[in-house]
Amino acid sequence: MRSLSIWAGICALFVGGCGPGCGSQAGDRAEATVPPPAVAPKSAPPSIPAATPIEETPPAPALEPKRAPSTSIGSPSNGRLESGEALPPEGPGFLRNPKSPNAEAVYGTNEMIAGLVRAAAKVHGRHPGSRVVINDVGMPGGGPIYHHGSHQAGRDVDVLFFYRYAKTGEPFDSKGIPIEPDGTGDDYGDLTDPKDDVKVRFDAPRTWALMEALVTDPELDIQRIFIVEHVRTMLLDYATKSKAPAAAIERFSDVTCQPSTPHDDHFHMRIYCSAEDIAAGCEDAQPIYPWQRERLASLGLEPVIAKPRRGPKARAEVEARTVSQEEAVAEMGPMHPRVRAFLKRQETWSKQPHPGRRYCK
CA 124 vs CA 51, 89, 133, 261: distances in Å = 14, 16, 12, 30
Q: What is the mean pLDDT of residues 152-164?
A: 98
In the chain, the percentage of residues whose pLDDT exceeds 90 is 71
Predicted confidence at residue 25, as pLDDT, reads 36
Predicted confidence at residue 190, as pLDDT, reads 92
Which segment, 146-155, 208-217, 256-265, is predicted with the most confidence on average?
208-217
Answer yes or no: are the C-beta atoms of 2 and 144 closer than 8 Å.
Answer: no
User: Using the 8-state DSSP alphabet, how is residue 284 labeled?
Assistant: B
| 249-281 confidence digits (pLDDT tens) | 999 999 999 998 899 999 999 999 999 999 999
Name the H helices within the chain.
Answer: 4-14, 110-126, 204-215, 229-241, 246-255, 275-280, 290-297, 312-319, 325-332, 337-350
> 116-125, 139-148, 183-192, 311-320 — which is least confidently predicted?
311-320
User: How many helices (H) and strands (E) are present in the chain, helices listed first?
Assistant: 10, 17
Domains assigned to the chain: 4-350 (3.30.1380.10)
Q: What is the mean pLDDT of residues 100-112?
A: 96
- Average confidence score pLDDT of the chain: 85
Predicted confidence at residue 10, as pLDDT, reads 37
Answer yes or no: are the C-beta atoms of 138 and 151 closer than 8 Å.
Answer: yes
| 339-354 confidence digits (pLDDT tens) | 999 999 999 999 899 9
| 18-43 confidence digits (pLDDT tens) | 443 454 433 333 333 233 333 333 34
Q: What global pTM score does this model have?
A: 0.82
Q: What is the mean pLDDT of residues 311-332?
A: 78
Predicted confidence at residue 63, as pLDDT, reads 54
Residue 300 CA to residue 302 CA, distance in Å, equals 7
> 151-160, 161-170, 313-322 — which is least confidently predicted?
313-322
Name the H helices within 201-267.
Answer: 204-215, 229-241, 246-255
Predicted confidence at residue 146, as pLDDT, reads 85
Handedness of CA 8, 324, 86, 215 (dihedral sign): negative
Q: At residue 59, does pLDDT exceed 90? A: no
Q: Which helix (H) or strand (E) holds 147?
A: none
Predicted confidence at residue 295, as pLDDT, reads 97
Q: At residue 138, does pLDDT exceed 70? A: yes
Local confidence band at 327 (pLDDT 50, 70, 90 cut-offs): confident
Answer yes or no: are the C-beta atoms of 228 and 258 closer than 8 Å.
Answer: yes
Number of CB atoms found within 10 A of residue 318's CB = 21
Predicted confidence at residue 257, as pLDDT, reads 98
Predicted confidence at residue 58, as pLDDT, reads 52
Q: What is the mean pLDDT of residues 199-220?
A: 99
